[in-house]
Each structure stands twice: as structure tokens, then as C-alpha cells.
Structure 1
Amino acid sequence: MTGYTLRAATTADIDAFSRVIRGAFFVTAEPDPSDSIRTVLDPARYTLAELDGQIVGTAGIFTRDLAVPGAVIPAAHVTGVSVAATHTRKGLLRRMMTSQLSTAPEAIAVLWASEGRIYQRFGYGLATQNVTVRADRRELTVRGDAGVGTGTLRAAVPAEVRKELSQVYDRVLPDQPGWSSRDDAWWAHLTHDPEDRREGFTATRAVLYENADGVVDGYTRYRVRNEWDDNGPKGEVNVVELVAATPDAAAALWRFLLGVDLTRTVVKGLSSPDEPLFHLVEEPRRLGGKIGDGLWVRIVDLPRALTARRYAAPVDVVLEVTDTLLPANAGRWRLRVGAGGALVNCAPTAAPADLTCDVTDLGAAYLGGTKLGALAATGRVQEHRPGAVAAASTAFGWHVTPTSIEIF
């Protein structure tokens, strides 16, 4: 580590640290000053590793809120973690991650992992699963009359209806653990659609669902790739996202996407294991769902994080937690939750432990998707009082399966 130093980035560093990130992820193009990502990043939240004045490592944070069970709270959205190939295996990643977590003001941090094995070393737990649907639309119909005749669909250009999109999104966000807040800058970034990023697809299109009162209750953003063979059209509909505040909106939008002419396949990534589509169609097997990892969560400030969310059931449990990276989280904590999942208190205690776990396991369970009971079955969570795992697992659960519909 001799000669390496860490510092916060400045605006003048954006091109240089972008080259390090692009190099690590094998992006050949040079940094683009017109790239809309620059409008949402805060250089001061990037930790840079330098050697002799040259930037050789980065670890950034987007400042955003995250929906968690029963609340929306600030969360460090970790991004752009990379080390130049000629400077790996020198401890730079650990040094940057430790610095980043030690100074983050948020109670939790979240990220999408290039490789899960990397971030578990720093206390991140797998908190959501990501389902990719690759459906043969010719074999699929929406059941019965769901979403028929209860509203109307309106086509639009996404950038021209950002207000309507954001209003629906903000209605749905609080009830969707794992979703991230979007201010005007984020909406401008997400609807920016340069032609050189389309990868053979059309420009992104929007369809809005309006109820009988003219209120927009849902929308989808999608794009289409035109393809033909000797047997005719075989285009693909790529669903960027579908957000619905009502069941009618969800059914009507899916009915539309599964009926786009001259296409054969509908693809949607970033779906939940509880994706309503699995229960809307008559033959869910034809959806071809494939499960992968989604958001990884890191508890940064344990008592603040555990008191920020609500719980599915009352519980009184003593957790003995290990955390080698952030020692302030380690020790015994008594978590007490009253009726209705509120009245939360989490404080240090000398009482005997009911459960022992690592901070990684609490991160995995934090959004209510990964069960402490499942972790106990692998030996990662140890029970010292009979019934403690069942009680804690129930309390940490949630009625909505967490997911994230956006990679950052």
C-alpha cells in the first residue's frame, strides 16, 4: 500500500475516474461530457484511490432514498466500485470500501453486485431476488376480463410525460421495498434515450393507463426490436419497467404488451418473484422466469437502521451481532417491537443472546425478502432460545416481496 492515498473526488476528476470505471467494466468508449449520468452524480461522494497523482480506484455513492418495510429512508446507493487492472490485489478495494462505509451518514447502504462474493466480504447481504421473464407471447393470454373496459391507454414519449410517470411512481414507491426515490434529475436521466445506446431497439416508448376519472394509475416504458425470418415477423418487446397503482392498470398494461403486433417475445428483467404477471396469465410456465440476485444491503448504523423500518409482528429478541468492518455494530442488541410492528427500540444489552448472526445476515433480512429462518437452516444464524428464530423471522418479514426495478 506504500504511496497510495485516498481522497474525495471533485468535478474536475469526473473524466479521470470515469476512465477507471470504464476500464474495469471493459467499456471501450471514452467518457462523454453529454452523458446524462453526470447530472445525477455528486463527485464529493466518490472515494478515489491515487498513486503518484494518478487515479487508480473509485467507489461512489448516489444520494437517494430507499423504500423499506413501512418507511422510505436515506440509503447510500453504492456505484462505480472499481480498481485499475494494474493495481488490483493490493488491498485498495478494502481500503476504499472501509472508508466509504465509515463516513456514510446513511444507516444503510445498497448496491448491485458485479460478483456477490466480493461484497459479502464487506458485510453486504443478499436482500432481494431479481426475476427475468422471457415470454413467448403467442402462448399467453391474460386471464378473464382483467383490465378490460375499466380505463384507457395513451401512448406517449417518456421524456414528454415525466410528470405523469413520476406521480404514479411516487404513489407506488412507499409500498415497494427496494425501490429508490427519483427526483427531477433522475427522471431526466432515466428518460434520456440517445440513439447510440439503443442496441438495435427502437426509441423507448411509454403507454399510460388512465382510469375512468382520467387519473393516470399506471404506465409502462418499453422498446421493440424488429426482426424477421423466412416464417415472418419475430420481433421482441423489451419492457424497461411497468408501474401500476391498481390491479386494473397492471392487467391492462400487460394485456397491451403481450399483444404488440409483429412480435413474438416479451422480455422483462428486474421483476419480483411475486410479479403479478405470474398470476395474471393462464399459462405462467410460458413466462420462462429465471431468478438471479438483486439488491445487496449493508447495515451501516445498526440501531438506527433497525428502528427506521416497521415489522410484520411484535417481537422481543436479543441479537448478538458480529461486524469486523464496523465494530460499533458488534455486540448484543435488544430489539423490541410492539403491536402493529411499530414502537421499535433497539439498544445495547448485557442480557443473554437469543440469536447470533453476522451483520451480513441482518442486511440480507432487512428488506423482508430473505428469511432469518432460511439463514438459520444454513447455520449462518444460530438460535440460543427455542422459538427465537421463528419469532424474529416472522417479524423481519413483510407482506410485499422486495425488489428493485432499476440498476444504478
Structure 2
Amino acid sequence: MTHPLADVQVPAASDFDEIADLMGDAFHSAFDTDVREVERGIFEPDRSLLVRDGGRPVAHASAFTRTLTVPGATVAAAHVTMVAVAVTHRRRGLLSTLMGRQLREIHDTGREPVAVLWASEGRIYPRFGYGLAAQRLAVECPATAELRLPEPASAAGTLRLADPVASQPELARVYDRVRPDRPGWSDRDERWWRYVLADPTAWRGGATPRRALLHEGPDGVDGYALWRTREEWDQRGPRGQVRVDEVVAADPEAYLALWRTLFSIDLTRQLSCGRVAVDEPLLRLVDEPRRLGAQLVDALWVRVVDVPAALAARRYATAVDVVIEVTDELLPENTGRWRLTGGPTGAVCVRTDDPAELACDVRGLGELYLGGVAPAALAATGRLRELRPGALAAAGPAFGWHRAPGAMEVF
């Protein structure tokens, strides 16, 4: 039974505290004063949708305006966030209403051919056309002699500890240097660096304030790590934890030096990092990769909002000329046959009446979009169908990329 509710509205900036209360209830995490101020700094009310019942917020969805690195390019992408429905108003179609309207507005505005999000639960967003486009590894392992990294080939660089906020310009230069080569990373302007480096006590989980470790090479800072530690002892002595947020390095020497330090901090015995790329060099540097305890989990979910614009925006590993038949129940403009031609330097995608060679729904396109899923793997699930024999083998390699997609931050 549908509950009578007010129309969906675009909130004002002054509604943020009520929305924060809704988010805190939905995600079982109180938004204290410090957290509210951090979150308020990135809130975009004009990109938000709010439903009230009796004056009280009961459902909300929003998006951030950012760009996303995709294979060979960057693309404007709606970073969908702050999605919640009050426990008293579940199963009434509110989420479907908000997600459908949000997708329609993104499409009709014409600025962002894709949307991207982190899913609180993987079962929620496929029904709105989102496909799992990037996975990650969650690492939890010993930070002791049980796990060794190789000695550096040279000692050309130096390491120094620094205050993360004071070091933001140096961090940004390294991040911007590395980001173009890593699908799945989002741009960070000054506003977003303030958010990434914010460190409210409520986010520390009993650990220390965040620290920055910088690696300086011949031409300046070429790598950094953001991390914190947590004290722990038992009857056998220290069992402290190292919690790594980010390791970004422009060359192998800096990368190795940073990780060697993180694995050797005094009085620590455990190390964890929740956002490790599936092709992370660390996996091949340690002497016993099984000891990393790496667990494969989902990261970024991509929704192709404008099929021709999205497919033309990215680059392809090899030459491709294929007709794809797409179905999209929420955005019927995407439904039809599309001829994609392109390669490493550019691409074009146009509607066609030619016979389709491959077929999938819009969720399947989202899974393929960042180059992290092989078309053959998707075909094995039945969600990508080969309509012309040989089309999958011919077009499949083009959708890959030389770097696996990663996910550097939760938004």
C-alpha cells in the first residue's frame, strides 16, 4: 500500500541537519558536530532530492559533481551518494521514485553520461541499471617479519613524516600525476581535498589522528601514504595496528619505500587497508602473498546514463567495430542498436539499423565500462549475448585496459 506523501522536493542548504539525522539513523552512525561540518562542506543541495512526511525527511538521494577517470580519458560523472529511506517508510516505492527521477534528471541535463556509486548492499542498485565495474581487495595481514618486502634497488629517495593538511599541495600533485592512468579514480579539487583529509574523532575508530608519509625523489615528492595506528597490547606484548587509507606513488621505488615503512612500524603487529586495487603491485612484492589475507569485494558501481556519449567518451585497448543491442527500462532513449567504432585514440558511437552482434542490458554496459570485467566473463553469466558468431572474440579485447580500475575513496 502506498503511503500518501508530499512530492519530491529539492532541499535547501538549511535542510542539511535534518538530512544528516536521516542518514545517521539509516547507517547507524551518529553525525556529531565535527562530522556534520565536514559533510556539509561537500553537500550539493541543488543535486539532492528529498521526500518529507508530516514535515519530517523520510527519503533522500543526492549526487556530487565530479569527474571520473575511465580507460584513456576522464568523463563527467554523477557521484551518487547520501541515499537513504527511513525505517518507517520502507517498501513504499520511495527509493525507486528517487533513483528514477535522479537518473532522468542526469540524462536530460546532458552533462554526465555516467553515474557512479558505492553500494551499501550489492542487491540494491542493479535494478536501477548499475553494474559492478570495479572491485577491490581488503587486506588484513601481519606487519611483522612474517611478511617481507624486497630490499630497494637503490636509496635515491628519502622519507619524511608530515601533517596531512599542511602537505595537501604536495599530495595533490602526486595524486594528479597518477590519476590519469587509473580508471575509477575521481578528481579532487580544494573542496574535496579538505574532505579527504578531514579527520573527525568519530572517524578514527579509536586510532590516532591520520598521518602522512612522503617520499621525495630527485624531482621532489613522488609518493605518499595516509595512515594511522591503533594501540593494542596483550600478555605477550605489543599488538598495535597500522590502518592504511591511501598509498599513491608515481614510480616503483617510491611505492616500495612507502610500503616497507608501513610494514615496519615499531610496536605494531597488524596492518589493514580496505581499498587495494586488484592489480596492486603489493601482491607481487611480498614474499608470501597468502599472508596478506586479501578478500575480494565490490567497489564502484557504474550506471551508463547516455549510451552513445558514454561509449564514445572512453578509449579502447584495440580497434573495435561492433553493433551492440542495449535494453534500458528506466531510460528508453538508450534502448536500441548502437554501432561503436574506435580504438586507443578515440571512439564514436551512433544509433544504427544494422544487425546486432552483441546484446546486453544497460547494467552489463556499466560492468564493462571501466575495463575491469572481461566481456567473456560477462557472457558467461548470460547478461552479454553473442548474436554473431565470433563477435565476442573480436570485440572483447577492446573493452579491457592496461590498468585495472581502482577505487581510492568512498564518497
One-letter identity of the residue aligned with 1:391: A
Aligned to 2:150: 143
SS at 2:195 equivalent: helix
Shift of 1:299: 0.2
Aligned to 1:393: 396
After TM superposition, the structure 1 = structure 2 runs for residues 345-364 of structure 1, keeping only pairs within 5 Å, are 345-364=348-367
Q: Does 1:172 align with 2:178?
A: yes
Aligned counterparts of 2:248 and 2:340: Cα–Cα separation in 1: 34
Aligned counterparts of 2:103 and 2:395: Cα–Cα separation in 1: 26
Distance change (3 Å), C-alpha of 1:314 and 1:256: same
Q: Does 1:119 align with 2:122?
A: no
After TM superposition, the structure 1 = structure 2 runs for residues 217-232 of structure 1, keeping only pairs within 5 Å, are 217-232=222-237
One-letter identity of the residue aligned with 1:67: T
The one of 77, 88, 91 aligned to 1:89? 91
Shift of 1:393: 2.0
After TM superposition, the structure 1 = structure 2 runs for residues 204-219 of structure 1, keeping only pairs within 5 Å, are 204-213=210-219, 215-219=220-224
Shift of 1:144: 3.8
Aligned to 1:182: 188
CA contact 1:125–1:362 (8 Å) conserved in 2: yes
Aligned counterparts of 1:295 and 1:328: Cα–Cα separation in 2: 24
Aligned counterparts of 2:33 and 2:58: Cα–Cα separation in 1: 16
The one of 300, 308, 320 aligned to 1:295? 300
CA contact 1:5–1:51 (8 Å) conserved in 2: no
Moved more, 52-61 or 251-260: 52-61
Shift of 1:99: 0.6
Shift of 1:50: 2.3
After TM superposition, the structure 1 = structure 2 runs for residues 16-31 of structure 1, keeping only pairs within 5 Å, are 16-29=18-31
Q: Does 1:162 align with 2:162?
A: no
Aligned counterparts of 1:390 and 1:135: Cα–Cα separation in 2: 39
Aligned counterparts of 1:171 and 1:244: Cα–Cα separation in 2: 9
Aligned to 2:253: 248
Distance change (3 Å), C-alpha of 1:23 and 1:197: same
Distance change (3 Å), C-alpha of 1:33 and 1:204: closer
Aligned counterparts of 1:30 and 1:17: Cα–Cα separation in 2: 13
Shift of 1:87: 1.1
Shift of 1:18: 1.4
In structure 2, runs of 5+ residues without a counterpart are: none
Shift of 1:232: 0.8
Q: Over residues 231-276 of structure 1, what are the superposed CA-to-partner deviations in whole Å (9 max), with x where a residue is unaligned?
A: 1111010001100011111000011111111101111111111111
Aligned to 1:78: 80
Distance change (3 Å), C-alpha of 1:294 and 1:349: same
Q: Does 1:50 align with 2:55?
A: no
Aligned counterparts of 1:196 and 1:110: Cα–Cα separation in 2: 26
One-letter identity of the residue aligned with 1:35: E
Report the TM-score when normalising by structure 2.
Answer: 0.95
One-letter identity of the residue aligned with 1:98: G
CA contact 1:68–1:309 (8 Å) conserved in 2: yes
Q: Over residues 317-358 of structure 1, what are the superposed CA-to-partner deviations in whole Å (9 max), with x where a residue is unaligned?
A: 1100010011011100011114xx234111111111101100
After TM superposition, the structure 1 = structure 2 runs for residues 102-117 of structure 1, keeping only pairs within 5 Å, are 102-104=104-106, 105-117=111-123
Shift of 1:378: 1.4
One-letter identity of the residue aligned with 2:88: T
CA contact 1:62–1:78 (8 Å) conserved in 2: yes
Aligned counterparts of 2:312 and 2:390: Cα–Cα separation in 1: 22
CA contact 2:242–2:268 (8 Å) conserved in 1: yes
One-letter identity of the residue aligned with 1:50: R
User: What count of residue pairs does the alignment treat as equivalent?
Assistant: 404
Aligned to 2:381: 378
CA contact 2:117–2:300 (8 Å) conserved in 1: yes
CA contact 2:152–2:257 (8 Å) conserved in 1: no
CA contact 1:19–1:30 (8 Å) conserved in 2: no
Distance change (3 Å), C-alpha of 1:34 and 1:117: closer
Shift of 1:145: 2.7
The one of 244, 265, 269 aligned to 1:260? 265
- Percentage identity across paired residues of the two chains: 51
Q: Does 1:199 align with 2:205?
A: yes
Aligned counterparts of 1:39 and 1:136: Cα–Cα separation in 2: 37
Report the TM-score when normalising by structure 1.
Answer: 0.96
What is the CA RMSD across the aligned residues, in angstroms?
1.4
CA contact 2:17–2:36 (8 Å) conserved in 1: no
Aligned counterparts of 1:218 and 1:235: Cα–Cα separation in 2: 25
SS at 2:150 equivalent: coil
Distance change (3 Å), C-alpha of 1:161 and 1:385: same
Distance change (3 Å), C-alpha of 1:30 and 1:165: closer
One-letter identity of the residue aligned with 1:137: A
Q: Over residues 383-405 of structure 1, what are the superposed CA-to-partner deviations in whole Å (9 max), with x where a residue is unaligned?
A: 01112112222111101000101
Aligned to 2:277: 272
In structure 1, runs of 5+ residues without a counterpart are: none
Distance change (3 Å), C-alpha of 1:61 and 1:29: closer
CA contact 2:5–2:51 (8 Å) conserved in 1: no
Aligned counterparts of 2:45 and 2:196: Cα–Cα separation in 1: 19
Shift of 1:196: 3.7
Aligned counterparts of 2:202 and 2:182: Cα–Cα separation in 1: 32
The one of 39, 44, 61 aligned to 1:59? 61
The one of 322, 331, 334 aligned to 1:329? 334
